[in-house]
Amino acid sequence: MKKKLCIDPGHGLGNRSKEVYDPGAISAGVSEADIVLAYGLAIKWIGKSRGIDVFLTRESENEVTPVGRRDNLASEAGCDLFVSLHCNAASPSANGTETFYRDDEDKKLAKLLNSAVLAALQFRDRGVKHESKTQHPRLSVLDFDGPACLIELGFISNTNNREKLLLRSSRLAVAHAILDTLEKEYGLQ
């Protein structure tokens, strides 16, 4: 049976506190929330051109989406797969792509999408990482009832990663890579 995909662009309005806009990491005037929203919209748009209906947990910076509600929003929209998009920030030298998952059933999805994003962006592979349900509020989205993972696309605190993440060509490449992989491995409706 074909699956319905949810893409969750991390952060945004009401993410952690009501009525407060959470930009996520900020580096050189670029915010994580803006970058991942642009990637989410690109995936939805490319999906549409391919006849695939992608659900986004937020489609604009004005949409209120508490982090604790996002997995429910996806379930209510009838989604079977949940992919959260984020960017890292750390020292200027830290760089690369990494993907988090919570349960063993999610490891396959995490591995497939980590590879897909790496093929599109050609960043350093920081690997697929298991995170238990503890200190990380952003990982509460992984409570989704079905395969779920959280991709840290790259580091916006690293000049090379940031500049490449901002390119339209990168958004299109990532969108196609994610959709290609999911269509092949899960089927998408």
Binding residues (CB under 5 A) for Zn ion: these are 10, 24, 86
Kindly state the smallest distance separating residue 150's Cβ from Zn ion, in Å: 8
Residue indicated by tokens 């989604």: 79
Cβ–Cβ < 8 Å for 186, 3? yes
- SS3 of residue 24 by DSSP: coil
Kindly state the smallest distance separating residue 10's Cβ from Zn ion, in Å: 4
CB nearer to Zn ion: give 10 or 154. Answer: 10
CB nearer to Zn ion: give 52 or 87. Answer: 87
**CB pairs under 8 A, 24+ apart, for 162-169?**
162/27, 162/28, 162/30, 164/121, 164/123, 165/35, 165/87, 165/121, 166/30, 166/35
Cβ–Cβ < 8 Å for 179, 47? yes
CB nearer to Zn ion: give 28 or 189. Answer: 28
Kindly state the smallest distance separating residue 136's Cβ from Zn ion, in Å: 10
CB nearer to Zn ion: give 52 or 174. Answer: 174
Kindly state the smallest distance separating residue 87's Cβ from Zn ion, in Å: 6
Kindly state the smallest distance separating residue 44's Cβ from Zn ion, in Å: 19
Residue number with the smallest Cβ distance to Zn ion: 86
Q: What CA–CA distance (Å, rounded) separates 159 from 38?
A: 19
CB nearer to Zn ion: give 85 or 116. Answer: 85
Q: Which of 85, 59, 46 is nearest to 173 (CA)?
A: 46
